[in-house]
Structure 1
Amino acid sequence: WHHAGTRKYPFYIALENNEPFAFAGIADEWINPATGEKIPTFSLITTQANSLLEKIHNTKKRMPVILRPENESKWIDPSVSAESAFHFLQPYPANLLKAWPVSRQIASRTSDPSSPELIQPVSYPEFQLNLS
């Protein structure tokens, strides 16, 4: 989301080549002491925003770590050392990404998350952002 004054604007972000990609994340389980229930947890790892994403995520200037394809299997390989994996946690090159504003409906709990209309470019007359 881009913050402009008191308003926020959602963006769709994709690889320039439209290929799917993987985020770096960590997962674990913990036991709820009150119930004994095993609770799975997951967190995305973030890094400093690249030049494209710092324009969009303009308040916190961070982005999720997008793994390069050659590092995806290494990220989940338990034989790869933490020190080696740490080197994967770099901002993805801005020139390999594209982004455009989308409807605020993308955050609505009543919207169908698989609806292709949610990622169509939208113009906000009161808002312009130069991403180049």
Structure 2
Amino acid sequence: MCYSTRATKKAEQLELHFNVKRLLGKQEPEGDLVHYHANGWSHPLMWVIPQESPNNITPAMWGIMPSKNNGADYKEYFKNYTTFGGLNAKSEKLFDHFIYRWSWEHKRCIIPVDGFFEPHTTPTKVKGKPFKVPFYFKRKDGDPINLAGIYTTTADGWNTFTILTKPATPLFEKIHNDKKRRPVIINDGDIDSWLLEGNGEDEVQQMIEDDMWDSEFETYPITKDLYSRTVDSNREDIIEQMEYEEVEIEF
């Protein structure tokens, strides 16, 4: 599942790349919303391109909430709602889940990121326990990754979003070999269609199934500091490549 991302492009860069403009709402961001490691469990604000206003980027909180709730109460809400922390949504449940079914039609979004992190479980155990290594995924061409999401607008006007996931394709299955999932990543040429009002289930499902190919991505292992609770992982060098003798993957 996708619980950690990297989003270091400032609003001005995203405006230029996607031909959009900033639109600030109830959640006025502090700073540029630059995250070297955006840990979803801390529910950070991130830029999204919303279906309701596809010519804009706007801040939204990572962790979807029902529209009847108040976004300002997110800490209390997520104490009781622990399933994935609202961070990911299985695309297989998109059309019938009690929250998602109200968003898939009119509240789809793009979450632009530099890359994201996925865990790999090695066949070799260390001290009798599974040895997990974080891998970083990025596009080979360096362009932003168009994560597919849905969002809600809460009763007090907060936008909250979740990242859609699907069964792992071959590259992702090698890395995320435990859960065997991957985020849905919209092709550059399908962004306008993903955000288009009026698409039905068939059109949305087709874009999910035919999303960005594995061949577009580069991935490699990084420091286990990403998982540390005592070390600051929100730092620029967190994506430097590391070598682990326990990792036995052929690409």
The alignment's TM-score, normalised by the length of structure 2, stands at 0.45
Q: Larger RCO: Structure 1 or Structure 2 (Cα < 8 Å, ≥ 6 residues apart)?
A: 1
2:222 alignment partner, one of 93, 98, 102: 102
Amino acid at match of 2:121: H
Identity %: 25
2:213 is the alignment partner of 1:89: no
1:111 alignment partner, one of 224, 229, 232: 232
Match runs of 1:1-132 below 5 Å: 1-4=119-122, 5=125, 6-31=130-155, 37-90=156-209, 92-108=212-228, 110-111=231-232, 113-115=234-236, 117-125=237-245, 127-132=246-251
- Kindly state the Cα deviation for residue 44 of structure 1 after the two structures are TM-superposed: 0.7
Deviation digits for residues 98-124 of structure 1, max 9, x if unmatched?
A: 100011223446526351x11111012
RMSD: 2.1
- Kindly state the Cα deviation for residue 72 of structure 1 after the two structures are TM-superposed: 1.3
Is the contact made by 1:52 and 1:131 (CA closer than 8 Å) also made in structure 2?
A: no
Residues 1:38 and 1:107: Cα distance change in structure 2 (over 3 Å): farther
- Kindly state the Cα deviation for residue 20 of structure 1 after the two structures are TM-superposed: 1.3
Task: Return 5+ residue gaps in structure 1 as ranges.
Answer: 32-36
Question: Number of residue pairs matched?
Answer: 125
Q: Secondary structure at the match of 2:219?
A: strand
Residues 1:84 and 1:98: Cα distance change in structure 2 (over 3 Å): same
Deviation digits for residues 85-109 of structure 1, max 9, x if unmatched?
A: 2111125322221100011223446
Amino acid at match of 2:185: I
Is the contact made by 2:166 and 2:182 (CA closer than 8 Å) also made in structure 1?
A: yes
Alpha-carbon distance in 2 for matches of 1:108, 1:120? 16
Q: Secondary structure at the match of 1:92?
A: coil
Task: Return 5+ residue gaps in structure 2 as ranges.
Answer: 1-118
Alpha-carbon distance in 2 for matches of 1:72, 1:28? 19
Residues 1:50 and 1:38: Cα distance change in structure 2 (over 3 Å): same
